[in-house]
Amino acid sequence: MVGSCLAQGDLAGLLASQDDLSTLLELVGLVPGLADKLAAASNITIVAPTNEAFAAVPRNVPEGEAIEQKNDTIAIGALLANHVFKGVYPSAVITDIPTFAQTLLNSSYIIPRQPFSNFTGGQYNGLVKNGDDDIKLGEGITIHKIDTVLSFGAPLQLFTYRAGFLAMNVALEAADLGIDIGLTGADNPGLNISDYTIFVPTNEAFESIGSVLESADKKTLQEVLKYHIIPNNVIFSPSLGNVTVPSLQGDNLTFTVLPDGSAWVNNARITFPNSILFNGIAHVIDSVLSPGEFDRASLTPKANASERVAFPSASSVPISELPFSSIAFQGDQETYSTTPALLQTWIAVATPTASASATGNASGQGTPAPTGQQQFPGAASGLVPVAALALSVAVGAAAVLL
C-alpha cells in the first residue's frame, strides 16, 4: 500500500483491511480503548508486526506469553506500546542506517512479576529500512509493517548471562555495588540508575587481568566496575566522538573515533554496540578499563586486545579460577544467538567526514578533535553499515520495515 492514506480515527478498519495484520488487530482489541486512543493520537509511528512475526515469537518469553495467553492486558499493552514510536518516521527518512528512537513503553507498565521498561521518556528501539511502503492514517500517524516483534529490554544481569558474558556477570555479583541495574522490588534494593550507559568487557578481557582480580579487594572491584558505567546518559554509538565523559566512579572516560569508523573507550575497542537493556544501553568492549585519566595519544589501535591491557602488571587467569562464584540468572534457558543478516553489517559509529564536528561525531578527515566534555542526547541515528558488528534483535530490538 505504497503512499496510501486512510482517514484519521479508523485504525481498527485499517488493520482489518490487511490480512497479514489480523493478529495485531486481535491484540489491539483486547486492550479497552486502545484503538481509539491510538487513532486519535498525532505525531506517532506504528510499526505493525505481521501475523508471521507474531507466530515466530517463542511462547516462553514475556512477549510470547502476552501473545499466547491473551489474558493480561498490561502485558499486551506493554507489548503494543513498544511498537509505537514518538514522532513520524516515514520510509523516506528511514534508511539502512539504523535510527534509534523512543516508544510509548514506559515504567507505568508493571505486572507482579516484572516491569517492562524503565527509561525516562520511553523504551528505545532501533529502526532500519528494507522497503518503501507507508500507510498513513490521517496526517499525524505513519504505519509500517515489520517482520519481527520487538523485544522487551533485558535487565543488565540477565543480558550478561544470556549473551554469555559470564565474567562481567559474576564480577557484578561479587562487587555488590548497591545499584539497581535492572531489577526492581523490595528484594532488589539499591540506587536506581536508569538511563545509563555501560561497557561490558568480554570474558577474554577479564581473563587477561585475572591475576589482578585474584588479589583485588571488594572496594577495588567496585571502583573498577563503576568506571565502566556512565550514569544518567544514554549514549548510542552514532553519538560518539573524540570527547571525554565522566564515569560513575568519577574519573573521565576518553572516547576516540578513528577514520575506519571504529570507536574506542580509552584503549578498549567497542566490538558490539548498542545492546538495548531494560533501563540502559550496553556496549561490549575487548579490554577491562582501569580507573584514571587516559591520554588519547597513547591509543594503540593496531595492537591486539591482549597487548592493550589497562593493568600493566596483569597476567592471564582462566575464568574458572577467578575468585567469583555467584552467577545471576543461572539456569535461564534463553540465549541471544540469532541476528538477521541485515543487521550484521553495522560498525560502531559513522565514518568520519570533513564536515563532521567534534561535539557529537567524528572529527574532519579522521584527525582527532580537541578533547572536551559532552552530555550526549538521549536519541541518536546515523550508523553507517560497513563492517561486521551486529545488534541482535533479541538484545536490541531492531525492526525491519517491509
Mark whether 47 and 170 lie in a shared domain: no
**CA-to-CA distance for 77 and 83, rounded, in angstroms?**
10
Q: Which residue, of 127, 146, 165, is where some domain finishes? A: 146
- Domain at 379, CATH number: 2.30.180.10
- Name the pTM for this structure: 0.82
Any domain includes 344: no
Mark whether 247 and 308 lie in a shared domain: yes
Mark whether 285 and 164 lie in a shared domain: yes
What separation in angstroms does the CA of 323 have from each of 53, 156, 205, 212, 238?
Answer: 43, 21, 16, 11, 37
Any domain includes 394: no
β-strands 179-180, 141-146 pairing: unpaired
Is 190:178 a contact under the CB 8 Å cutoff? yes
Any domain includes 269: yes
- Tally the C-alpha atoms within 13 A of residue 234's C-alpha that lie toward its C-beta: 26
Nearest to 150 by CA among 181, 117, 174, 175: 117
β-strands 263-265, 99-102 pairing: unpaired
Is 193:221 a contact under the CB 8 Å cutoff? no
**Grid coordinates in use for 207?**
581473563
**Grid coordinates in use for 310?**
589497562
The total number of structural domains that make up the chain: 2
Mark whether 276 and 366 lie in a shared domain: yes
Cβ-count burial of 266 within 10 angstroms (0-12 exposed, 13-18 middle, 19+ buried)?
A: buried
Is 256:299 a contact under the CB 8 Å cutoff? yes
Residues ≥6 apart with Cβ < 8 Å to 367? none
Any domain includes 48: yes
Mark whether 355 and 211 lie in a shared domain: yes
- What residues form DSSP beta bridges with 6? 137
Is 258:366 a contact under the CB 8 Å cutoff? yes
Cβ-count burial of 307 within 10 angstroms (0-12 exposed, 13-18 middle, 19+ buried)?
A: exposed
Residues ≥6 apart with Cβ < 8 Å to 359? 241, 243, 372, 374
Q: How far apart are the two ends of the chain, measured CA to CA in Å?
A: 11
Mark whether 114 and 254 lie in a shared domain: no
Q: Which residue, of 82, 117, 146, is where some domain finishes? A: 146
Any domain includes 395: no
List the chain pLDDT tens, one digit each, 402 residues. 333 444 445 788 888 999 999 999 999 999 988 988 888 888 999 999 999 999 999 888 888 888 998 889 999 999 999 999 999 988 888 876 678 899 999 999 988 877 889 899 999 998 877 766 778 777 788 899 998 899 898 889 888 988 889 999 999 989 988 887 755 445 555 666 789 999 999 999 999 999 999 989 999 999 999 999 999 999 988 788 899 999 999 999 999 999 888 899 999 999 988 899 989 999 999 999 999 999 999 999 999 999 999 998 899 999 888 888 888 888 776 655 444 443 444 455 655 443 333 222 222 222 333 333 333 333 332 222 222 222 222 233 445 555
Q: By residue range, what is the domain housing residue 68?
A: 4-146
Residue whose cell numbers read 538484545: 395
Mark whether 139 and 164 lie in a shared domain: no
List b or e across 219-242, with b for residues whose CB sees 16 or more CB atoms inside 10 angstroms: eebbbbbbbbbbbebbbbbbbbbb
Any domain includes 250: yes
Mark whether 243 and 358 lie in a shared domain: yes
Nearest to 157 by CA among 282, 68, 318: 282
Is 263:257 a contact under the CB 8 Å cutoff? yes
Any domain includes 316: yes
Mark whether 134 and 183 lie in a shared domain: no
Mark whether 239 and 131 lie in a shared domain: no
Q: Which residue, of 146, 178, 209, is where some domain finishes? A: 146
Any domain includes 345: no
Mark whether 223 and 323 lie in a shared domain: yes
Mark whether 229 and 366 lie in a shared domain: yes
What separation in angstroms does the CA of 135 have from each of 21, 52, 93, 143, 218?
Answer: 13, 19, 14, 5, 56
